[in-house]
Amino acid sequence: MATQLEIARAGEISEEVRFVADAENVDAELIRDEIAAGRLVIPANKLHIETNLRLAGIGRVLTTKVNANIGTSSVRSSVEAELEKMKSALDAGADAVMDLSTGGNLDEVREQLLARCPVPFGTVPIYQMIVDRNVEDIDGEVILEVIEKQAKQGVDFFTIHAGVLREHLPLLENRVAGIVSRGGALLAKWMLYHNKQNPLYEMFDDLCDILAEYDVCFSLGDGLRPGAIADATDEAQIAELRTLGELTARAQEKGCQVMVEGPGHIPFDQIQYNMQIQQEICNGAPFYVLGPLVTDIAAGYDHITSAIGGTAAAFYGASFLCYVTPKEHLGLPDADDVRAGVIASKIAAHAADIARGLEGAADRDKKLSEARTNLDWQTHLAESLDPQTAETMHRKACKEIGVAELPSADYCSMCGKAWCSVRINREIREAIKKQDAAKK
């Protein structure tokens, strides 16, 4: 069976393309064209399609998508807690979920999550390669075994850090934060220990064969992404990006769909350049960015720093935003952190979609604004990105002003009745209407 890329290149419109086209109200032929050019992916493992996957496309002609990372750690691992986090992510509107588990029974966690995951599901297979062994003991057999096992489970996209090369490591000497990617750090350790090239790079063609068989989409990892503002857009980051460009072309040549991962910590004024250079080097392959975080000093609020960077990234070239939770750099997120992170990223993605003029992107904004102007609280709250939080806040405010029934409030506690400009506006409109009627 062919991959989505091969089908598109053959000029055919697959069922999956049709589904995405209908879901986003975009011409199916345009989507086919974008997939064939390597600028759009539908991460959909053939086995996940057969169970519960609701297909989603990632590319510049579609809305910007948001991913939520969940997963156990060696300190805390429970399948139930991860299922709760995934539910929280999906309820908040995550378009994809990645399981980054490193603790407990990884196969079981993945299996349970996948069985209940209706959106594209990603993993970082190298994490499983070091279970019960030291990183130095990873060999070709282990790599292929883990990749194949996860592909057979139905994973839709894999982060593969094949672009970190031995020759890149000396470029890290002057970095403030060194290597912050877990996959990147593990592979650097392996390369230094064995004094050999990155095995994922050396075995890349074999990996392509497995990914193509199941149509697992590559998410080419940025193992050398900057983890500090001071390290942004440095030589190491760009050197790896050039390798990712080469690997993108090689994987596409073998029929694989490819996304490319990007930074990281980037000052706001460097985001545009970072998006442009990725699009240029990787020939328009969908860019999947972590944040980017526009400052290092907002611990506890990094969902906000990443949303600021995420809007700019999605405006200038990214197609897929990986959320960041308020716990980033501080601890393993819980379900509430996941929710806060997804909502922040959804705001960033949506703001960018409006700004880049995607057809219909601002329709919901208009609907909400009309409801707000008409003091139609039910529609106002329902159309919000996070209706649950909006309603909780508004009900509390209604209590403060002694209004029991939510729809009957014709002002709120923000300005008070006499100062409510929305209410005053309504009175002005009615007065103008009466005047106009009297003139006729």
Phi, psi angles (nearest 5°) of residue 348: -60, -45
CB atoms within 10 A of CB 83: 18
The radius of gyration of the chain's CA atoms, rounded to the nearest angstrom, is 24
| 164 Cβ contact list (under 8 Å, min separation 6) | 184, 187, 188, 191, 198, 201, 223, 224, 240, 243
| 389 Cβ contact list (under 8 Å, min separation 6) | 343
- How far apart are CB 104 and ligand SF4 at their closest, in Å? 47
**Looking at beta carbons only, is 80 or 400 nearer to ligand SF4?**
400
**Looking at beta carbons only, is 75 or 414 nearer to ligand SF4?**
414
**Looking at beta carbons only, is 387 or 416 nearer to ligand SF4?**
416
Residue 201 and residue 162 in contact, taking contact as beta carbons nearer than 8 Å: yes
Please tell me the distance from the alpha carbon of residue 317 to that of residue 190, in angstroms, as a whole number.
Answer: 33
**Looking at beta carbons only, is 356 or 417 nearer to ligand SF4?**
417
- How far apart are CB 422 and ligand SF4 at their closest, in Å? 4
- How far apart are CB 307 and ligand SF4 at their closest, in Å? 23
**Looking at beta carbons only, is 134 or 421 nearer to ligand SF4?**
421
Residue 384 and residue 397 in contact, taking contact as beta carbons nearer than 8 Å: no
Residue 209's identity, in one-letter code, is: D
Residue 203 and residue 144 in contact, taking contact as beta carbons nearer than 8 Å: yes
**Looking at beta carbons only, is 15 or 365 nearer to ligand SF4?**
365
Residue 44 and residue 53 in contact, taking contact as beta carbons nearer than 8 Å: yes
What residues line the site for ligand SF4 (CB under 6 A)? 411-412, 414-415, 420-423
**Looking at beta carbons only, is 94 or 381 nearer to ligand SF4?**
381
End-to-end CA distance of the chain: 71
Please tell me the distance from the alpha carbon of residue 320 to that of residue 220, in angstroms, as a whole number.
Answer: 13
Q: State the residue for tokens 């998508």.
A: 65
- How far apart are CB 126 and ligand SF4 at their closest, in Å? 50
**Looking at beta carbons only, is 316 or 411 nearer to ligand SF4?**
411
- How far apart are CB 53 and ligand SF4 at their closest, in Å? 42
Pairing of strands 58-59, 40-41: antiparallel
**Looking at beta carbons only, is 73 or 425 nearer to ligand SF4?**
425
Residue 52 and residue 117 in contact, taking contact as beta carbons nearer than 8 Å: yes
Bridge partners (DSSP) listed for residue 70: 99
- How far apart are CB 385 and ligand SF4 at their closest, in Å? 18
- How far apart are CB 372 and ligand SF4 at their closest, in Å? 7
- How far apart are CB 423 and ligand SF4 at their closest, in Å? 6
- How far apart are CB 377 and ligand SF4 at their closest, in Å? 9
